Amino acid sequence: MLDACCLMPDNRFLEVTELPPRVIVDKCDGCKAEKEPLCEQICPGDLMTLSEKTGKAYCRYTRDCWDCMSCVKICPQGALETRLSYQLGYYPAKLIPMMGTNRITWTSIAMDGTVERFVVPTRNEE
Amino acid sequence: MASKLPTSLEEIQTVMVETDVLVIGGGNSGCFAAIEAKKQNAKLKVTIMEKAHIDRSGCLAAGMDAINTYIKKGRTIEEFVRWSRSQAGGLIREDLTKSLAEVLNEPTEEWERWGLPIKHDEETDEYVTRGKWDITIRGSEMKVILAEKVREFGVEVLNRVVATGYLMDGERVIGAMGFGVRDGRFYAIRAKATIVSTGGAAGIYKPYQADSVDSHHQLWYCPFNVGSGYAMGIRAGAEMTTFEMRWCATRTKDFNGPIDTISVGYNAPMINGKGERILQKHYAHLGGEAAPRYIRANVPMEEWREGRGPTFVDTREMTPEQVRDMKIDYLNERPSYVLHLAARNHDPSKEPLEVYGNDPYIVGGHTASGYWVDVSRETTLPNLFASGDVAGGCPNKFVGGAAAEGMLAARSAAKRASETASAGSLSDQQLAAEMVRIFAPAFRQAAEGDGVTPREMEERMQRLMDEYAGGVHQFFRMNREGLEYALKNVRILKDQTRYLIARDLHELMECHEVIDRLDVAEVLLHHLMYREETRWPGWQTRTDFPERNDEKFDCFVNSRRDPATGQVQVFTRPYEQLIPGDRMKP
């Protein structure tokens, strides 16, 4: 299951649950038009970077992620997903932000499949 | 795409920058400082040196759900000083707090004009309040909004440049040095006035969430704030204050998330495993639910120690609408806490939320740790100003106060820069020495290929501090013997930094993060040893001196490391009360 794993620079696959910022490799295009991928530009911990071998983004040390979701919010392909480490939260809950101009629509999916949606304003209307 | 790591001095390219006002650290406080310097004098060149990217760097990376210090209509500056004083156990710099309070509301109101959504009461048009000094905001994107304004005001922004040391001309600070974590170059930025706003220090102590390797950074405080601003000042001989007043707080268990969102925002009381309202039942004599912050911070630890754990905030009285509003608050500040609830199928209206203490941080925006500054925010190093979490003496600043202090520091720095003809003279010897110090782990990797990784050293330090200097695994408790053991070993680690190795520029940054943290840890240990009393249980619990000793310690504990000898001197400064009344009461 390729899209459930992260392809590391040495072509090794890591298990999903090791990865707080999980890269969905089918969706990631490495932001080819940019000098470096947007997730790499924005990450406050300098953790996201591009694999020269695969042309896809990856997180170099997943344990150092703060779960701030800056990379998830900025990814134009929706190719990033924040996961908590399994030791702290059970599989397979999800939290997905859809970025709008003046709002974020968040979808929370609990481990039992319960879906909640929240629309949160982020900027006053012009 | 990062450049290659230099393997010898000859490979290193140098970037020289001349500016009028240099701001080190482009978080909330630094961005407000940079904008204010331009507002004061648009002709000044203002430069931000930022190790990440100003759109998402510092404490506001994920956003914020409240401004916790806003002086509402009908409240006074004196009231604010009295409140802050009581929350800090009676020990604050009243002059700093008063001057901050005078401008405290300005950044919040400016932010709103720039587009930050803040709720207004439909009838009065005042901000909707939450608790005594708090207003609720929709701050998920507030740092992005602020960064846009930094660019609009014409501030030069150097993203991905790590500051490592001050440029000195004698005793005077004339800028800073560092390296590019993308371009691998050495940077020397000369400035007529310098503002340090690098934030506080996380990662000095081991967090309890660190399960082997997978959740090392599940921290409340920004894990990328490593205390570099403190460390640069310590190395240059700046006077520091009150490091021993550590920031330990009650946080959501396992996630380490903020708790005021629930306890202040929704009046949810803390309860123990027996279902007792802890503050009411066991802490009524200290103010009950309104007890000072350090008392509340220590509550979960004491309950566990007394065999009455685990501890919770009781959210079961909350309505489904309130639970939904609470989740929105978290989405604006730490969105992954909503994921944490989802990953446990946790409905707070049915089950209470578990709380626990966090790994201690050194954070001058919450407690009083940091640079000793005057009312203009100038440090004891001439031409160096400090603001936000790195500046001491003025606790309970939080987001609004850190921004306001950035403005205050910038007003002084802009004035100094405008009055100064020349920044000062650069010494080639100083540049060469810092270049060698910065790139040493890269050269060692190239030459020897063996040594100590920054991660190994960081974990050794964090375990020492946790176990011997009052970390969360020791319920924040410490004694002289433990502190001496920690200091002995921190000194060994400091000596062993010469064995650090880096294989790429990210690891080189990590090397300097651990070097900086060790300098902070050493000074912290001196402060913890000096204060032979227990003034703030939890923040500073000495098991060998369990009582408060006002005769000896109703004063500031300050320190200065002699740059020539490396010796840390610790001394006291008297308390100066400006606003009358019982300092322990709001």
Residue B84 near residue B396, CB atoms below 8 Å = yes
Region B87-102: mean pLDDT is 97
What is the rounded end-to-end Cα distance, in angstroms, of chain B?
Answer: 53
Give the number of other Cβ atoms within 10 Å of residue B153's Cβ: 16
- Rounded to whole angstroms, the Cα distance separating A60 from B15 reads 28
Sequence ranges of the domains in chain A: 2-87, 92-126
pLDDT band at B212 (very low <50, low <70, confident <90, very high): low
B176 - beta bridge partners? B166, B189
B103-130 pLDDT, tens per residue?
999 999 999 999 999 999 999 999 988 8
Region B481-487: mean pLDDT is 98
pLDDT at A18 over 60: no
User: Hey, is the C-beta of A100 within 8 angstroms of any chain B C-beta?
Assistant: no
Residues in B 58-87 with any Cβ partner in A closer than 8 A: 58, 61-62
Contact flag A43-B52 (C-beta cutoff 8 Å)? yes
- Rounded to whole angstroms, the Cα distance separating A100 from B199 reads 30
pLDDT at A115 over 50: yes
- Rounded to whole angstroms, the Cα distance separating B69 from B28 reads 15
Higher pLDDT, A126 or B276: B276
Region B58-75: mean pLDDT is 94
Phi and psi at residue B134, to the nearest 5°: -105, 140
- Rounded to whole angstroms, the Cα distance separating A71 from B56 reads 10
Q: Which residues contact B212 (CB under 8 A, 6 or more apart)?
A: none
pLDDT at B297: 85
Q: Is A66 a catalytic residue?
A: yes
Average pLDDT, chain B: 95
Q: The complex's ipTM? A: 0.95
Residue B31 near residue B153, CB atoms below 8 Å = no
b vs e for B89-113, b when ≥16 Cβ sit within 10 Å of the residue's Cβ?
bbbbbbebbbbbbebbbebbebbee
CATH of A2-87, one of 3.30.70.20, 3.30.360.10, 3.10.129.10, 3.30.70.3040: 3.30.70.20
Q: Which residues of A touch B345 (CB under 8 A)?
A: 110-112, 114
B181: tokens are 């974590």
**Coil vs helix vs strand at B442:** helix
pLDDT at B2: 65
Region B209-234: mean pLDDT is 86
pLDDT at B211: 63
Strand B172-180 and strand B161-169: the pairing is: antiparallel
pLDDT band at A9 (very low <50, low <70, confident <90, very high): very low
B127-186 pLDDT, tens per residue?
988 878 999 999 999 999 999 999 999 999 999 999 999 999 999 999 999 999 999 999
Region B480-493: mean pLDDT is 98
User: Hey, is the C-beta of B141 within 8 angstroms of any chain A C-beta?
Assistant: yes
pLDDT at A14: 46
- Rounded to whole angstroms, the Cα distance separating B341 from B191 reads 48
**Coil vs helix vs strand at A10:** coil
pLDDT at B474: 96
Region B378-394: mean pLDDT is 98
Strand B46-49 and strand B156-158: the pairing is: parallel
pLDDT at B370: 98
- In a 13 Å sphere around the CA of B61, the CA atoms on its Cβ side amount to 26
* pTM greater than 0.90: yes
- Rounded to whole angstroms, the Cα distance separating B97 from B579 reads 11
Share of chain B above pLDDT 70, in %: 99
Domains annotated on chain B, with CATH: 14-199+363-419 (3.50.50.60), 250-357 (3.90.700.10), 440-557 (1.20.58.100)
| Minimal Cβ distance to A120: which of B138, B213, B342 | B138
User: Hey, is the C-beta of A16 within 8 angstroms of any chain B C-beta?
Assistant: no
pLDDT at B213: 59
| Minimal Cβ distance to A42: which of B1, B53, B141 | B53
pLDDT band at A1 (very low <50, low <70, confident <90, very high): very low
pLDDT at A15: 39
Region B439-445: mean pLDDT is 97
pLDDT at B1 over 90: no
- Rounded to whole angstroms, the Cα distance separating B270 from B287 reads 14
